Structures are given as structure tokens and as C-alpha cells.
Amino acid sequence: MRAELSAKRDAFLHQIGTRPLVMGILNVTPDSFYDGGQHVGIDGAVARAKQMVADGCDIVDVGGESTRPGATPVSAADEMTRVEPVLAGLAAIVEAPVSIDTYKSDVAARAIDLGAVLINDVWGLQRDPAMADVVAESEAAVVIMHNRAEKDAEIDILADIHRYFERSLTLAAKAGIRKERIILDPGIGFAKTSHQNRDVVARLAELKRHGLPIMIGASRKAFLGRLSDGTEGSLIGSIAVNLAAASNGASLFRVHDVAEQVAALKIFHTVCSGMGQTP
């Protein structure tokens, strides 16, 4: 990794834990569940990234394949066709660090070449056998997310997440990925029932036993409506769940609505930081 990118990576990682950090979602896909097709053109995608940075996001997460339930998989070549021009455009314009949302090692490697400093892998190094080596060799940071092939309402979802993370962290250690560059994501909305999604947020502190930062990606997801008998994927629900996750130990929040989430998390952090202080 080039020296200027290493500096961006380290500056981002060193902020984790000092305050809630926000990852802005930039989907350059036609079929993502919330914003599919909105930012497919290069100019539109770069403009959206610039706006998110202006709104306060700490890192821009570029994705070229929808991972929503039922989405059609795309080849690595098609995914790279979508993300390459956007990553190239962001490198010249956006000062904030950039991450790549992919589980394919070829896409991840190319994204690092184009300026990404973090790989956000929704299969936690377990889908593509070459991914752990790409992360290690590139010296990128990585988000290891929990995932499953299908839902199972009968399992203890936190126990399943712990087992999954242990496998992923073993792969990371064997490849030589430095622990200080790893972030964990319990995978809200991925092969989990609404009840299990709620349990993950409520029991999030249990994941602290791994000794790594925790990211939450609950933004605009359908289970939020089921919790409140309201509109699925609402902004209010997204903010509420992120504040609950923050209170239970989450450090990083992957969101669509950057300005609103930044404001809510800033207030939360300011209030919590002031608790117990002598007036």
C-alpha cells in the first residue's frame, strides 16, 4: 500500500473508539435494496461521495454488487466495471478514506490499487479462499462480517456469530493480517430473523470478548419496520437502532443518511461523555 494510503488507513483506524464513526454507503449498483440505481454514473457517484464527506462521514464505502436477499450475483469482471471508474474518480477528489464492499479477492486487490484502504467483506474472509491473503499482502484494513447461507430461527444467533468470527479470525491470523486492522460486523439483516436482528443489537456487548471494534450496518433495513409496526427501512428506525448499538459498544456505523446519523451520534456521544462530570 502506498505511503499516503497507509497514512489515511491509520488515521481512520486511530479514530475508532474516540467517538462514533460513520461509514457512508455508496452503491454503484442497479439493484441495491434502498438506493439501487441512484448513483450508477461516475459523476453522480462522485458527487454523492463528496456530499457524504461534507455531511461528516469518516469513510466512503463503494459497492458494485447488491448483497440484498434475492439479488442476482455478478461476476468479478462486471463488478470491477462498475467500481473502477468511481474509485479512480474518488481518489483524485475526495480526501476521506475509501473502502470497497466486496467478497471477491480480485475486486478487492484492484480497489486497493485504485486507492481503497479497507475491504468490507460480507462473508468475513470465508467465501473467497484468496481474500485473507489479499488483505494481508495489501496491508488493508478489513471488516469481517457474519453471514449465513440461510436463516435458522432455532439457533442462538450470538453463539453462531462467535463461532463464525473465530473461524474468520483464524484465517486472518494464518494469512498474517494484523489484529489492529480488523473490525467485526455481526451482519444485521443477513440471514437473520427480525427477532435475531433485535437480539444482536441487544446483546452486542457480548462481542467485545474478541477485543476488536464493532461495526453495525442496520441502515434502512426491513426488520426495523417489523420492530415498530411502522414503515420498513425508516430513517427513524435506523437512527434508533444505531443509538442502541452505540450504547452497547458499537464504534462504527454504516449508513445511507449521513447528515442525520452524524448529528444523532454526535449528540449521543456528547451526552454520554458528559455523564458523571461535575458541573
Q: Which positions are annotated as active-site residues?
A: 221, 254
Sheet holding 141-145, edge to edge: 182-185, 141-145, 118-121, 98-101, 59-63, 21-27, 252-255, 215-216
